[in-house]
């Protein structure tokens, strides 16, 4: 019996030793798995942070795009308003040009009538004045054929020159009649 007790005690001791050896191996497995779990959790956390940063960047870009689209829509509306104003200004220009042309034609007709009246006088001074005034009237008529049709930066200068020539012809006609 002592032998069986000792054999049983040795067997129990061996089992305890084997069990304790197994615990060390198990602890190593657990430690390894724990490290891998921590690495995986860190990778997931890093990826989650990356995804969150990307989502935030995308949302920021969306806001910028929406703002840009709104600015583009506002600019397009403004362009359309300017086009309408340009159309109105063009119509006004056509009306003003038509009115100016009518005034010029009327003024030419008055000058022609005054020239015709002066031409009836037979003295040399009147004959010379009529010849000079008709030449200046012909130059003025030639200038009027170059009247700008569209908006032109030189329009103000053109009308100023035409009015100055008309004024001079009318002044000289009045002086010749005296």
- Residue 101: what pLDDT? 87
Burial of 22-38, coded b for 16+ CB within 10 Å and e otherwise, reads eeeeeeeeeeeeeeeee
Contact between 137 and 173 under an 8 Å Cβ cutoff? The reply is no
Contact between 115 and 158 under an 8 Å Cβ cutoff? The reply is no
- pTM given for the model: 0.56
Number of residues written out for the chain: 178
Burial status of residue 129 (CB atoms within 10 A of its CB: 0-12, 13-18, 19 or more):
buried
* Cβ-based neighbours of 118, under 8 Å, separated by 6 or more: 126, 129, 130, 133, 173, 176, 177
In angstroms, the CA 103 to CA 152 distance is: 19
- Residue 136: what pLDDT? 94
- Residue 16: what pLDDT? 46
Per-residue pLDDT 10s for the chain (178 aa) are 544 445 555 555 445 444 555 445 577 778 888 899 999 999 999 999 999 999 999 999 999 999 999 999 999 999 999 999 988 988 888 888 889 888 999 999 999 999 999 889 888 888 899 999 999 999 999 988 888 776 778 888 888 999 999 999 999 999 888 7
- Residue 96: what pLDDT? 86
Tokens linked to 51: 């995804």
């Amino acid at each position: 019996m002592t032998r069986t007790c000792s054999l049983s005690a040795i067997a129990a001791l061996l089992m305890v030793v084997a069990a304790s050896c197994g615990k060390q191996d198990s602890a190593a497995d657990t430690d390894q798995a724990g490290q891998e779990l921590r690495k995986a959790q860190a990778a997931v956390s890093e990826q989650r942070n990356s995804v969150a940063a990307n989502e935030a960047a995308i949302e920021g870009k969306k806001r910028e795009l929406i703002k840009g689209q709104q600015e583009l829509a506002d600019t397009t509306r403004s362009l359309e308003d300017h086009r309408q104003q340009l159309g109105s200004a063009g119509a006004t220009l056509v009306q003003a040009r038509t009115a100016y042309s009518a005034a010029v034609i009327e003024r030419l007709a008055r000058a022609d009538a005054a020239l015709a009246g002066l031409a009836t006088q037979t003295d040399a001074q009147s004959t010379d004045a009529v010849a000079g005034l008709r030449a200046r009237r012909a130059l003025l008529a030639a200038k009027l054929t170059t009247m700008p049709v569209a908006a032109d930066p030189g329009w103000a200068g053109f009308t100023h020159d035409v009015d100055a020539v008309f004024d001079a012809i009318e002044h000289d006609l009045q002086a010749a009649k005296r």
